[in-house]
Amino acid sequence: MKKEVFGVFGDREALSRFRSERAFDAVLEGEGVAVGVRDAGLGASGRTARYSNDRGSCLLFGDAFPADGDPNAARWLLDRYEAVGREALAELNGSYLVVLEHGGEAFVATDPIRSWECFYADLGGVRAFSTDLSALVSRVDRSRVRREALLEFLHVGTVLGDHTVFERIDRVPFDGYLTARETGSFRRFVYEPATFDYVGELAERLRRAIRRRADLPGRKGLLLSGGKDSRILLSQLPGIEQCYTIGDPDAREVRSARKVARQYGAAHTVLVPDDRYLQPTAEKLRYTQGIKESLHIHHAGYNDAFDVDTMYHGALFDTLLKGYFLERDGVSAFGSKLPSTRLHPDPDPIDSLLGTLGYYPEASLRLADAASDYFGDIALDSPDEFLRERFRAELETCWERTDSVHNAMDLLVIKNQPVLPFRTHIADNYFESFIAADAELLDWHLRAPPAYRHDETFWRALKRIDPHIFRHRPPSQPHSSIRMNQIERFLRRKLPLVEAFQPAWPDRDEVYRAYDMDEELFPFCQTVRDLPVRLKLRINDIRWWLA
């Protein structure tokens, strides 16, 4: 990767056993940790920063916004740590990874939602860590595969918890830390529902979060859909010059995005879905870190078309601000459920999440036979029961931070967010800031009861920020009433001779077939070819990491 943190719990000599210092833009050394960093944004205000004095050292990778506005967040954090200890991490706003040493203590810490992954392995008596899994994979025995993690990836596209598919490599925990001998968790991300002005607070916090990130350098771009999430960035960031949308130029989603870009005075480029949309190149697969699917990195093949230095996006708005993974109540009709903004009073969290996170029950029964040539014996008596047990175990880890089954469902997804490779790729290739990880927005998510985390609250907040934001309506939401949009979507799906709403993204099955990707990826394996496209791409993803 172009940007990386790699370190050891040891001295500079221990670091040099694994990596040349020439691989990094800077190296920090203390008594208990030595770490190298490579990042074109090193030293820019609010970006990756380093600082050391005679009492300690600190590397802050990513972006962070100290409360007092200090442009060097690493300096602020080290000073604050001297005053209040690890409580200082709760005062830091942003999407980051911290490596800090002070008073004989050295540790690595994630931000509250682990928006940057950090992997670690014990190698010859030295604990090494990196933001790039591939930096550690070459140093372990790749034949020692963690079977449960491999099966999770193949069946749902995400390795759950703190593991990887390799037995000797793990991840720094969610909202957690790593030391030379242990891992542990903080208590920054805990649900504490309260009563307040949910719409007004969301509007103000969202406005501040976006403006906090308005001064990224160079020519600015935006990945723009025809929906709601990305258009609020265009509304509040007048410096955006260029918008990009992947899709057929005549698709409603693309036409809507073009109108929104024109409304706010930005140029608009349509990226036609071709083989680049799905092509699992080595560069693209590296961003999956072997724990998530490559299909979420929709834009990776279009890098040459992005003529910008900074790229904005609206990733995780749906999860953190709109309750996308919460199960809603509804009315049964025509054999289906007409959705509602009301929460289901007694959801089955495992049923709900398996139905949302890319599980194919029938195809999963055929997967073991189809992929045995690549992975050996991966047969399960019951894939369904295996996944239910794995999800139940992961759900158990959520209860100490939650007060309800609904919040536990959201937390499980946030801890195992499948779309993070989308962000990882952007952050590695451009200046980027993860707006959804803003501390004020995370606090809103934790304090707003799940009954208020839905589309209507988000919709009303956006209109409060900009009354003209829906001059051109999202194609799948033609009405100002959320309820009317749900009814029309339902009827379009069910009534004959009525066109359904088009999906926001191109049809992956159609692209896969059009470019005969079976012939390229699985030329001699007919049993794999018979699986759904998404499962075939997962097999190829993890095959690359194990090769």
Q: What is the pLDDT of residues 510-533, one digit of tens each?
A: 999 999 999 999 998 999 999 999
Angstrom distance (rounded) from CA 479 to CA 257: 17
Binning pLDDT at 50, 70 and 90, where does residue 478 land?
low
C-beta atoms surrounding 347 within 10 Å: 17
Q: What is the pLDDT of residues 380-419, one digit of tens each?
A: 999 999 999 999 999 999 999 999 999 999 999 999 999 9
Higher pLDDT, 366 or 495: 366
Angstrom distance (rounded) from CA 505 to CA 508: 8
Q: What is the pLDDT of residues 528-546, one digit of tens each?
A: 999 999 999 999 999 999 9
Coarse DSSP helix, strand, coil percentages of the chain, rounded to the nearest 5 percent: 40, 20, 40
Angstrom distance (rounded) from CA 166 to CA 301: 27
Higher pLDDT, 151 or 333: 151
Q: What is the pLDDT of residues 260-293, one digit of tens each?
A: 999 999 999 999 999 999 999 999 999 999 999 9
For the record, the structure tokens of 242 come out as: 């260029």
Q: What is the pLDDT of residues 178-217, one digit of tens each?
A: 999 999 999 999 999 999 999 999 999 999 999 999 999 9
Residues of the chain within CATH 3.40.50 domain(s) are 210-323+419-546
Indicate if the pLDDT at residue 331 is higher than 60.
Answer: no
What per-residue confidence (pLDDT) applies to 20? 96
Indicate if the pLDDT at residue 497 is higher than 80.
Answer: no
Which DSSP string corresponds to 450-515? GGG-SHHHHHHHHHHH-TTTTSS--TT--SS-HHHHHHHHHHHHHSTT-PPPPPSS--HHHHHHHT
188 in Cβ contact with 280 (< 8 Å): no
**Range of lowest pLDDT (237-241, 243-247, 314-318, 481-485):** 481-485
For the record, the structure tokens of 131 come out as: 């933001």
What per-residue confidence (pLDDT) applies to 52? 96
For the record, the structure tokens of 510 come out as: 């159609």
Higher pLDDT, 139 or 226: 139
What per-residue confidence (pLDDT) applies to 473? 78
Superfamily of domain 4-185: Aminohydrolase, N-terminal nucleophile (Ntn) domain (3.60.20.10)
Residue 43: what are its φ and ψ, rounded to 5°? 95, -15
Angstrom distance (rounded) from CA 152 to CA 167: 14
Q: What is the pLDDT of residues 57-116, one digit of tens each?
A: 999 999 999 888 888 999 999 999 999 999 999 999 999 999 999 999 999 999 999 999
Binning pLDDT at 50, 70 and 90, where does residue 489 land?
low
What per-residue confidence (pLDDT) applies to 146? 97
Angstrom distance (rounded) from CA 268 to CA 265: 9
Residue 310: what are its φ and ψ, rounded to 5°? -115, 135
Angstrom distance (rounded) from CA 440 to CA 90: 12
Residues 6+ apart with CB under 8 A from 222: 230, 233, 234, 237, 240, 242, 243, 244, 266, 311, 312, 313
Q: Give the containing element (helix H, strand E) for 176.
A: strand 176-178
C-beta atoms surrounding 86 within 10 Å: 13
Nearest in space to 408 (alpha carbons), one of 358, 446, 460: 446
Binning pLDDT at 50, 70 and 90, where does residue 502 land?
low
Residues of the chain within CATH 3.60.20.10 domain(s) are 4-185
Q: In 3-state terms, what secondary structure has residue 429?
A: helix
Residues 6+ apart with CB under 8 A from 467: none
48 in Cβ contact with 431 (< 8 Å): no
Angstrom distance (rounded) from CA 122 to CA 127: 4
What per-residue confidence (pLDDT) applies to 410? 97
For domain 210-323+419-546, give its CATH number from 3.40.630, 2.20.200, 1.10.760, 3.40.50.
3.40.50
Q: What is the largest CA-CA distance in the chain?
A: 74
Nearest in space to 56 (alpha carbons), one of 81, 73, 39: 81
What per-residue confidence (pLDDT) applies to 229? 87
Binning pLDDT at 50, 70 and 90, where does residue 342 land?
confident
Specify the length of the chain in residues.
547
Binning pLDDT at 50, 70 and 90, where does residue 485 land?
low
For the record, the structure tokens of 69 come out as: 């506005």
Angstrom distance (rounded) from CA 97 to CA 420: 15
Average pLDDT, the chain: 92
Binning pLDDT at 50, 70 and 90, where does residue 129 land?
very high
What per-residue confidence (pLDDT) applies to 187? 97
Q: In 3-state terms, what secondary structure has residue 181?
A: coil
What per-residue confidence (pLDDT) applies to 77? 96
What per-residue confidence (pLDDT) applies to 328? 86
Angstrom distance (rounded) from CA 60 to CA 49: 5
Indicate if the pLDDT at residue 488 is higher than 60.
Answer: no
What per-residue confidence (pLDDT) applies to 69? 81
